[in-house]
Homo-oligomer: A and B are copies of this chain.
Amino acid sequence: MSRESAFIDRLKAVASDPAARALMDDAAVLDRPENGLVLTHDMLVEGVHFLPGDPAGDVAWKLLAVNLSDLAAKGAAPLGVLVGYGMGDDPAWDTDFAQGLAQALTHFGTRLLGGDTVRMPQGGPRTLGLTAIGAAPACGAPDRRGARTGDALFVTGTLGDAGLGLALLQGREQAPDDVRARLIAAYRRPEPPVTLGPDLAPLMSASADISDGLLIDTGRMARASSIDIVIDLGPVPLSPAYAATRGDTPESRLAAATAGDDYQILFTMDPAQEQEARAIAARHGIALTRIGHCAAGEGRLLLHQNGTPMPLPGRLGYEHDG
């Protein structure tokens, strides 16, 4: 049996939902959803978005998580995914990937519907794509462009752990073993707030996921909404592991706000709804932090430190524009 066939057989064992048609048909078939649909597609390329030495199971997890993060920010509950798998030269990597994908699908409560498996040319980088399909919330999917004057700015979870995990992996920083493991897990196995997003969606005026860094993603929201957004670094939420490693200083908060790979939700909301939103987040066991506000303006990002304006740093996050 060829390597492609062996891999597809592994996926068939994962794709047990009838919608996948046992991966024997030309396409997957979904029942009519209750509301609209939210659709996203993100790619990961070896040597660009992950390293050849990264565990395949972690790459599978991340491929799923980065796409589910987009759905969560739109308040969409995952209905299923299609995977595009550009295979490398190592069969053990394929096996580990399929296992990691199965584990991540179970963890996030969604299912494999279909996709495509191809072999990359000899020596070509593994290239992975995933399309996630989500059920839009009844209120409609919040838009990145919806922030209004007077809204407050919120963020879920904590920031900076993944960026610090990457720094540890690259040997740029050091941490004790238990803390190190937690921070590296944040980088390799992100936990986007998949079930919280749909519950919060009715309260959101604008929403986006934080993939490239709090500052850069907030700047995009400000531009898209044609409104100024002020972030205060003071309340930016840090995890205990992060604070234990880098301390809790203006500098460490700025590093957390520009690191990227957080896969948390950034959203704006009428501040009168704050108590309701806090109760929802508490039910999910996820932190919710008010970190800023929206003001009439031309789409600028502004930065404060405990209420005092400060200049923007030269680097706001991960820039795709190289």
A250 at the interface (CB under 8 A from B): no
Collect the chain B residues with CB atoms within 8 Å of residue A64's CB.
Answer: none
B-chain residues with CB within 8 Å of residue A113 when the two chains form the complex: 39
CB under 8 Å from chain B, chain A span 27-41: 27-41
In the complex the two chains form, what is the Cα distance from A193 to B113 in whole Å? 24
A229 to B104, CA, bound (A): 40
CA distance A321 to B87 in the complex (A): 13
**Contact in complex: B27, A74 (CB < 8 Å):** yes
A26/B131 contact (C-beta < 8 A), A2-B321, A43-B116, A84-B43 known = no
In angstroms, Cα B53 to Cα A92, docked, is 34
In the bound complex, what is the Cα–Cα distance between A47 and B125 (angstroms)? Answer: 13
Query: Does A82 make an interface contact (CB < 8 A)?
Result: yes
Tell me the minimal C-beta distance from A191 to chain B in angstroms: 17
What string of 1s and 0s marks CB contacts (under 8 Å) between A34-69 and chain B? 111111111101111100000000000000000001
- A16 vs chain B, min Cβ distance (A): 16
Do B24 and A28 have beta carbons less than 8 Å apart?
A: no
Q: Are A131 and B82 in contact (CB under 8 A)?
A: yes
Q: Does A145 contact B (CB under 8 A)?
A: yes
> In the complex the two chains form, what is the Cα distance from A133 to B37 in whole Å?
11
Question: By the criterion CB–CB under 8 Å, are A36 and B40 in contact?
Answer: no
Does B45 lie within 8 Å of A86, measured CB to CB?
yes
How many copies the complex holds: the figure is: 2
A133: chain B residues within 8 A (beta carbon): 37, 39, 133
* A184 CB-CB contact with B under 8 Å: no
Given A116-B129, A131-B131, A321-B2, A30 and B37 contact (CB-CB distance below 8 Å): yes
Which of A136-144, A151-159, A304-312 makes up part of the contact surface?
A136-144
A300 to chain B, nearest CB (A): 17
Does A73 count as interface, using CB distance less than 8 angstroms? yes
Q: Determine if A283 is an interface residue (Cβ-Cβ < 8 Å).
A: no
Q: Is A91 an interface residue (CB 8 A)?
A: no
Q: Could you give, for residues 223-257 of chain A, a 1 whenever the CB lies within 8 Å of some chain B CB and a 0 otherwise?
A: 01000000000000000000000000000000000
8 Å CB contact of A48 from B69, B121, B141, B322:
B121
Contacts of A4 in B (CB 8 A): 320-322
A133 to B71, CA, bound (A): 17
Contacts of A182 in B (CB 8 A): none
Taking each of A1, A27, A38, A120, which has the highest tally of chain B beta carbons within 10 Å of its own beta carbon? A27
Q: What residue in chain B is nearest A39 (Cβ atoms)?
A: B28
- Can you identify 6 A-B contacts, CB atoms within 8 angstroms? A5-B321, A26-B69, A32-B35, A33-B37, A40-B82, A127-B127
